[in-house]
Amino acid sequence: MTNPTHLPTEGLFVGRARSSDAAYPLVVAVRDGTVFDITLRAAPTMRDLCEMADPAAHVRSAEGRPIGSLDDIAANSFETGRDPAKPYLL
């Protein structure tokens, strides 16, 4: 699949994803083609992240845990043919 996300090459990208190893949606950031779980107690939801004094600084500094490549996760994000055992974007 060629660039299924159509994201620009530069920018700060955040979103939500589901993963079979978490009972709740994850707050994720995309860096260099990899999706990272940046969910923290300080920002367990996108709303909490957006209400921070400087959400962009938080996203840039959050190390996170890699959950997969953006291409693979994006490809698994369509309801038809989704493998629920693998991460997908919400």
CB environment 28-67: b (16+ within 10 A), e (fewer): bbbbeebbbbbbeeebeebebbeeeeebeebbeebebeeb
Total count of domains within the chain: 1
8-55 confidence digits (pLDDT tens): 778 999 999 999 999 999 999 999 999 999 998 889 999 999 999 999
Considering the domain boundaries, does residue 5 fall inside one? Answer: no
* pLDDT value at residue 1: 45
The domain of 30 spans: 13-89
72-82 confidence digits (pLDDT tens): 999 999 999 99
**Integer Cα distance of 40 and 80 in angstroms:** 31
Q: pTM of the prediction?
A: 0.88
Considering the domain boundaries, does residue 7 fall inside one? Answer: no
